[in-house]
Structure 1
Amino acid sequence: MNKKNILYKYFFSFNQEDDTPTFKILIILITYYSITLAACIAVPYNTIIDYYKGFNVMTLFNLLFLFLVIIGLSTFLITRNIQSVKIIFMIAICLFLIKTVIEGGGNRGFGFFYIITGFSILFYLFELRNGLITLLSLYLAIVIRVKMNNFSTESIFYDTENISRFIVLLSVATLLTIISITIQHFLIQYLSVAAYIDEVTGLANRTKIEYLLKQIFSGKTIYKNRFSLIGVKINQFARINSHQGSEKADFILKKYAERLVSLLPDCILVGRYTGTVFLFLTEVYNFEDIDDLANKLLNQLQEPIQIDDKSVSLQINIVVTRYPDDGSDGNKLINNIMTGIVKVNNIPGILSFYDESNFITEQKKYEMGEELRNAIINNELYIVYHPKLNLDNNSFHGAEILLRWNSRKYGEVSPIVFIPLAEDLGLIQTITKWVSDTTAQELKIIFDTIPHKSTNLIFAINLSPLDISDPHFIDYLLEFSKNEWISPSIIEFEITEGVMMDNNPIAENTLDFIRSAGYRLAIDDFGTGYSSLSYLHKLRINNLKIDQSFIRPLNESHPDSPIVDAIISMAKSLNLDITAEGVETKFQENFLRERKCNFAQGYLYSKPIKINDFIEILKG
């Protein structure tokens, strides 16, 4: 922390005693410091003059004023409380005003000009109403005092002509100050509302929600014993915003907020925490009661909203967390809500209660995701080869390229864990390109080592549905095709059955490009989804991979598999290659060979291995 931050923290740290906005408190603090600085400069000078002229009473007034100001500021620096210090400064200022009026502005009358230049201070200390009353009272008191015309020959008011001019000056200054502080008052009021109220819905905003929770947990409200915090998430609101326009979207949000308030008349707080997340606190705590309330909300909040003779339906999720069961402070409870919302995201109509085990899982997922983001930079990813055997001639036909992650923090992480995580985080496209580029680099090594094998092998690279749906993936494939040592015919891109059924024009365009560029296409885990024969034909699939779940049960006790027979028969009728995954026994291999399955892949032949071991297998 630099010196500037240390000084700011020392002079402007304060205890939040009420819901006064931070910026307003800072203005009050600056007022305190300004009064103190002015007092430290002017009071000693005037005190010395008054003392030498024998004005002992006025000297005491000066010293008392300075003493109160210093005590007030010292009290703030010790306690950091604004309100109690405010009273001390108000007393000091009133004492100064009374003293200045009584003495007629001092020996020369200049004291009144201190008051005129500091009129606005009254507003920051006394607020608008009391400030205006004090200002007008002070104006009348000064006018009456100068009209009394009891001044020394050294005073500027000894000349009666100066009195008239001063009253005009005082009147103008008073009027301008009234206008100025009134404008400032409404400006601060507006900013205060903006600081705590959501502009669209009129509900409490995030700052207000967090402030109230802070107050609850500091013991300054009556709600600390137990309560429930409920989060309402509107799903797919961006679609409404894009279709209806921002003005109508705001109208829908406002109507939605009104409905929410009407359904929660006894709620402690209803607020809009983020763009599509509403939070409310309720003293309803019993599990059955809060479950009933949340279900009521879920049903009624999803009823259509009428706008321009049209009905708009909102899909929502609700997450409930309870104090003290689920957390001991406001931040923890809000984190519970947001974690629960992420958990059920894109699944509308779900009511869920916070579960600590789910939170821990999501927290670990987040932490692992942050590690995964840096895995490529830290050289933690690597590829392995799972060899495929040609069942016609017992030679290795190529391999499936598999990704592995050796994390510095977690060690070897299973692809079952990190591949879905990469898809959730939007990292899968980057990872797929890395796998493809790394495969290209290592294939050059393989072909340089055993050049006679370069045209007889096929290497399969898995593509995520997100890769296929990426409009920029074709651009990447164009760059990938510039690797001169790689013929497109030796690269086989594996996709899942679901990709074919999505009817996504971008995905269809990508798959068309893959085939037209000369690359092979394979359907991975075939038989576990709902493939259409017309799609198989339309996409000109080269290879069907029978899922290992159909191969693994085959043994002497269960020697038949009608599903495998049907898949092989269908593939043969469509002139497709067939690869069986998960082959682990000679019985399974013989079963597949008898049925003219083309290729087999499994631990019977090899586990996934690194490039050097794979080269040795190919040499053998």
Structure 2
Amino acid sequence: MPNPPHTVSSPAGLTHADALRLLKETGERLELALELAQMGTWDLDVTCNRLQASAQAAFLHGMDAQPFDDDAEQFFGRLPIEERHRMREAYRAAIENCDDYLQLIYRFQLKNGTSRLLESRARIYRDDQGQLSRLAGTLMDITQKRAQAALEASEEKFAKAFHSSPDSITITEIESGRYVEVNDGFCRLTGFSAQEVVGRTAHEIGIWTDTQQREFMVDELRQKGRVHHREMSGRDKNGDPLVLDISVDFITLNDTACLLMNARDIGQLKNAQAQIHHLAYHDPLTGLPNRALLMDRLSQQLSLLQHQNLRGALLFLDLDHFKHINDSLGHPVGDSVLNVVAARLEASVRQEDTVARLGGDEFVVLICGLDGSLDEVTHKVRVLSDNLRDLLAEPMFLDGHRLQVTPSIGIVLIPDDGLTPADLLKRADIALYRAKDSGRNTAQFFHSSMQQAVSQRLRLENDLRLALARNEFHLHFQAQVDCRTNQITGAEALLRWQHPEYGLLPPDQFVQILEESGMILEVGSRILDDACKIGGLLLSQGLVSKDRFLMGVNISPRQFRQSDFVERVEHSLKQHQLPATMLKLEITEGIVIQNLDDTILKMRSLRDLGVGFAMDDFGTGYSSLTYLKRLPVDTLKIDQSFVQDATSDPNDAEIIRAIVAMAQSLNLHVIAEGVETPEQLAFLERVGCYNYQGYLFSEPLPGPQFESLLQLRRPAQATASQD
């Protein structure tokens, strides 16, 4: 049966009018919900690009709050180009991915310069062929929502930063000064708990050393807007001092003006900075002023003395043979000696004077404000230097050792000997060099002639460098003889310098400069190599026998200390085919005492190869007897200083007797140096020393002349060999 006209069939039995009414009510409720949510709607017909939008959607896009029904370009055309580009890309991606829904957030610029952040959510509709036909969705202003979220996130970050910061952070009311909140960093720094300080003022809990510090800080904050890295002093809960780096900003909390203060403990930093500053101007071992502080004080004194028409003095001290103490007893004992010296020097001068350590065993004493004539001041300074030498020479008892040190002193007068700190220190150093060269434990005043001597030394050093390049160094050989047979048993290779201006120079005029400049390493290597070369040639020519001839070569301390010295010797021997048993290295006490264990190790390695050792200048050093038993030495050489006066000085004669007797008891050979007269040789024979070298038999000869000497002696040598 057909339905009655004008009726609607529904499960609920509603009439058509009821359905329309319900539909209208539902629409009104939807519009109300959208209005209350401030949400707009829109519907885009893609086929004709026509857009229908609600009044709220139009309003959100900066239009009049009226429904929109027009070309979509009119609606979206007011978007910034970059936003439209992003929107198209989002649509394209959704279509390509066959998405059913689309969500897009974009920013819309209003005419008044502000902007809105809009969120659009849409349903994508397609026709029967799957082509895009329609987009419909909502539009909502999320500007405040995002701002609120950002604010909440910022507050959360602030809270996390506030409570997790290792620094002390506090919030205090500006007017009352009461603490509103403190973090754990504040509690760790001050020792107070949050409960003990919140609601109270810094004045009440006694944090600030100076209660006016806060008022000054607030005034500066109001003038400049912020205070950063202000150093302030405070106290912790126990009353211990705090040095703080403070930064302060204004902050509003619950409509109350507050101060946000960040405080960092810089006490350790300040102490470290003070220590660094102290180390920059003081010697770390003795605590004395160092070179930098000395030069500063010297500069000040130059100006002051000239203004007051007074004089001063600079005493440059160097401890004699201090290196022997370090090498034999160790650096800890050496450091103790330096501290004793520093204390004695400080105790011997006035408070206004300066004692400085420049490094190593070098000290400087700066004396100020001396009045009187030049002679009177010179006398005062001389008396002071004598007192210093006597004071430093007093025995020290350190680590079970009784030690004595003496200083060499170079002295300049201020301003007579220089008008700049650099000149004064340089000239004091020149005077010191002269004092050391004069036998040590002396004091020398600077004189202009010393400058000339230094200039000559510098010139000589430059000439030595040229001599290396020009091969101006040569070896001369002095025969060593057995007086019982009058046969040559060996030779000592002696260095000579053929100077282009001064002629042939002996080593005592330049070896010290070679040693001090380091050139001795290259020169020493050449000497060793040339001596082995000559020895090999003499052997190959049949002029010497490998069993009856020794080639003596002097070795310098720096040369011996080379880590590869043993290898260098072995290389020269092999290169020139000289048997190791024909080489005798002559060493001095200076080599022995510097590093005894290393010396013994190298000597044993060379002895295992067959190389022999002679102790040169034996008897002139205080420690030779001490080390002799431990060293693989087979020969002692009696210094020529004893031989020269052996026939006239009973003391020298007795020393030679003692050396010979000791050598015999230790089964060592003995060679006397510098034998020039028959009387000297006769004395040596009487005491049992049969081997010698000196002008009595032959002066040092160049290689070819020494070969000629061997040629002349060859028949006698052969006869002696047969006997």
- Give how far 1:280 is off: 3.3
CA distance in 1, matches of 2:583, 2:394: 52
1:436 is matched with which residue? Answer: 528
Contact 2:555 2:585 in 1 (8 A): no
The alignment status of 1:460 with 2:551, answered yes or no, reads: yes
Instruction: Select the residue among 443, 446, 460 that pairs with 1:352.
Output: 443
Counterpart mapping for 1:141-540 below 5 A? 222-223=307-308, 226-231=311-316, 267=352, 277-278=363-364, 280=366, 282-285=368-371, 286-290=377-381, 319-327=410-418, 330-341=421-432, 352-356=443-447, 361-362=453-454, 364-408=456-500, 410-448=502-540, 450-451=541-542, 453-455=544-546, 457-464=548-555, 466=557, 470=561, 472=563, 473-483=565-575, 485-496=577-588, 504-526=596-618, 532=625, 535=628, 539=632
The one of 525, 541, 557 aligned to 2:634: 541
Whether contact under 8 Å (2:306, 2:415) holds in the other structure is no
Partner residue in 2 for 1:599: 691
8 Å CA contact 2:638–2:656 kept in 1: the answer is no
TM-score of the two chains, using structure 2 as the length reference: 0.45
* Contact persistence 1:552–1:583 (CA under 8 A): no
Taking the aligned partners of 1:362 and 1:389, their CA distance within structure 2 comes to 41
Change (3 A) 1:606 1:319: closer
* Aligned residue type for 2:634: I
Tell me which amino acid in the other structure corresponds to 1:337.
Answer: A
For 1:283, what is the secondary structure of its paired residue?
strand
Whole-angstrom distance in 2 between the partners of 1:545 and 1:268: 49
C-alpha distance in 1, partners of 2:353/2:639? 58
C-alpha change, 1:293 and 1:387, in structure 2 (3 Å) is closer
- Structure 1: 5+ residue runs without aligned partners? 1-189, 305-312
Q: Which has the higher helix share?
A: 1
Q: Does the aligned pair in 1 maintain the 2:483–2:690 contact within 8 Å?
A: yes
Provide the C-alpha distance between the structure 1 equivalents of 2:616 and 2:575, rounded to a whole number of angstroms: 25
DSSP-derived class of the 1:368 partner: helix
CA distance in 2 between partners of 1:393 and 1:341 (Å): 50
The CA distance in 2 between the partners of 1:274 and 1:532, in whole Å, is: 32
SS of 2:427 mapped into structure 1? helix
> Using a 3 Å threshold, how does the CA distance of structure 1 residues 230 and 267 change in structure 2: closer, same or farther?
farther
Paired residue secondary structure (1:480): helix
Q: Distance in 2 between matches of 1:548 and 1:206?
A: 42
Q: For residue 115 of structure 1, what is the aligned residue in structure 2?
A: none
Shift of 1:269: 7.6
- Superposed displacement of residue 403, structure 1: 0.7
Letter in 2 for 1:518: G
Whether the aligned pair in 2 keeps the contact of 1:336 and 1:354 (CA below 8 Å) is no
Give 1:605 deviation, angstroms: 2.7
Distance 1:420 1:274, change over 3 A: closer
Contact 2:476 2:493 in 1 (8 A): yes
1:415, CA displacement in angstroms? Answer: 1.9
Aligned equivalents of 2:593, 2:415: Cα separation in 1: 47
Per-residue deviation, residues 162-216 of structure 1 (Å, max 9, x unmatched): xxxxxxxxxxxxxxxxxxxxxxxxxxxx9xx99x966979998767765776788
Instruction: Report the secondary structure of 1:377's partner residue.
Output: helix
Query: What SS does structure 2 have at the residue aligned with 1:228?
Result: strand
SS at match of 1:326: coil
Change (3 A) 1:510 1:374: farther
Write 1 or 2 for the structure with the bigger share of strand.
2
Root mean square deviation, CA, Å: 6.4
Structure with larger RCO (C-alpha < 8 A, sep 6+): 1
Q: In 2, are the aligned partners of 1:386 and 1:608 still within 8 Å (CA)?
A: yes
Distance 2:587 2:554 in 1: 6
Give the 3 Å change call, closer, same or farther, for CA 225–430 of structure 1 in structure 2.
same
Whether the 8 Å contact between 1:571 and 1:578 is mirrored in structure 2 is: no
Provide, for residues 250-278 of structure 1, a one-character-per-residue CA deviation record: whole Å limited to 9, x for no partner.
xx99x999999998777388877779855
Give the Cα–Cα distance (whole angstroms) in 1 for the partners of residues 489 and 413 of structure 2: 59
Counterpart AA for 1:229: L
Measured in 1, the distance between the counterparts of 2:532 and 2:631 equals 29
SS at match of 1:222: helix
SS in structure 2 at match of 1:384: strand
The correspondence of residues 44-193 of structure 1 with structure 2, limited to 5 A, is none
CA distance in 2 between counterparts of 1:389 and 1:350 reads 39
CA contact (8 A) 2:672 2:692 kept: yes
Which stretches in structure 2 are left out of the alignment for 5+ residues? 1-273, 372-376, 396-402, 713-723
Q: Normalised by the size of structure 1, how large is the TM-score?
A: 0.52
CA gap of 1:490–1:198, structure 2 versus 1, over 3 A, is closer
Whichever of the two has the greater Rg, that structure is: 2
Which residue matches 1:18? Answer: none
The structure-2 alpha-carbon separation of the partners of 1:284 and 1:536, relative to structure 1 and needing over 3 Å to count, comes to same
1:511 and 1:439 mapped to 2: Cα distance? 19
Offset, 1:340: 4.3
**Kept in 2: contact 1:227–1:282 (CA 8 A):** yes
Aligned residues of 2:491 and 2:552 also touching (Cα < 8 A): no
Quickly say closer, same or farther: Cα 1:545–1:493, change in 2 above 3 A: farther
